[in-house]
Amino acid sequence: MKALVYRGPGDKAIEDRPEPALQAPGDAIVRIVKTTICGTDLHILKGDVPSCAPGRILGHEGVGVIEAVGAAVSAFKVGDRVLISCISACGRCEYCRRGMYSHCATGGWILGNEIDGAQAEYVRIPYADTSLYPIPPGADEDALVMLSDILPTGFECGVLNGKVAPGSTVAIVGAGPIGLAALLTAQFYSPAEIIMIDLDDNRLDVARRFGATQAINSRDGKAAERVKAVTEGRGVDAAIEAVGVPATFALCQDLVAPGGVIANVGVHGAKVDLHLERLWSQNIAITTRLVDTVSTPMLLKTVVAKKIDPKRLITHRFKLDEILDAYETFAHAAETRALKVIIEA
């Protein structure tokens, strides 16, 4: 089969690989129909994720059709159309019992990281009963690809961890796919203000169309001042960091109001400064999280019911043999105006 393989920092290639085989009774083999590229894949290519070794097939998102199931799989059968979760969950360990699937003792974020992933024609999914979701008849597969990772990530790590509430003020730093997913799902809770901050005017225009009440370009270094002006000098109740670089985490510390929450979503490959000399007395909470995908069933219902349309995040489409072009397009989003790309296998 064809697959996109990580060869080391800055190096990737399409390779011919053997099709995966069942290794455990709970496994399923899924024929990929559509997949995508995540910002985390770019972090891997930068060398920011040491758990991902050279030779790994990348990708942890997608929809497909089951080709084979292990003897212990009871929820799915050959031919079923399924949504692949970015998190593999055994469903039995202490962390899974607590709903922290991302810290599953034998799973978690392993797909496209510690085991071969979904940017290929076929993928092996461990713990299929608890790591796949049936696709309802008539559901839009393109929209559902967004449910593998970015929609639950933006919702759980940003909106839920940020304690977004009716009438609250929210700033989302980073108008990329994850930030826009947080924007879409924050609207479940009717906050009074959702302020989007980015360096890219095109993405800020998208954010306005998606429901942002304010859009601020931070290139002039005055984003914090402008947020304070919008919020009568207070700052925001929830500052959601959706980039993963020191400057954006620092900006969140400048934006948050007393009693507020900084919800970190971004993948950080370098250390950041925490200004406790300013924040120690401000009743600030700082949250971190790897997506658990506990919200996927709920989000799936909202998408199928057309209460939310994550398909709006898709800007480009490619075939699997064009995946190197897809990576170039996704990695140079400022020039290409890319948000999410769909790759059809």
- Inter-residue contact 304 to 145 (CB < 8 Å): no
Can you give the pLDDT at residue 333?
93
Tell me the DSSP string of 54-109: TTEEP---EEEEEEEE-TT--S--TT-EEEEPSSB--S-SHHHHTT-GGG-TT-BS
Quick: pLDDT tens for 285-343. Answer: 999 999 999 999 999 999 999 999 999 999 999 999 999 999 999 999 999 999 999 99
Quick: pLDDT tens for 55-79. Answer: 999 999 999 999 999 999 999 999 9
Can you give the pLDDT at residue 109?
97
**Gap between the Cα atoms of 174 and 339, Å rounded:** 12
**Gap between the Cα atoms of 257 and 243, Å rounded:** 20
Cα pseudo-dihedral 235, 240, 244, 248, rounded to 10 = -10
Can you give the pLDDT at residue 249?
98
**Gap between the Cα atoms of 77 and 32, Å rounded:** 16
Quick: pLDDT tens for 142-170. Answer: 999 999 999 999 999 999 999 999 999 99
pTM over 0.75: yes
Can you give the pLDDT at residue 48?
86
Quick: pLDDT tens for 222-271. Answer: 999 999 999 999 999 999 999 999 999 999 999 999 999 999 999 888 89
Can you give the pLDDT at residue 36?
98
First-last CA distance in the chain: 10
Can you give the pLDDT at residue 269?
83
Average pLDDT over residues 8-24: 97
Token reading at 258: 């007393």
Q: What is the DSSP letter of 28?
A: E
Can you give the pLDDT at residue 77?
98
Q: Average model confidence (pLDDT) for the chain?
A: 97
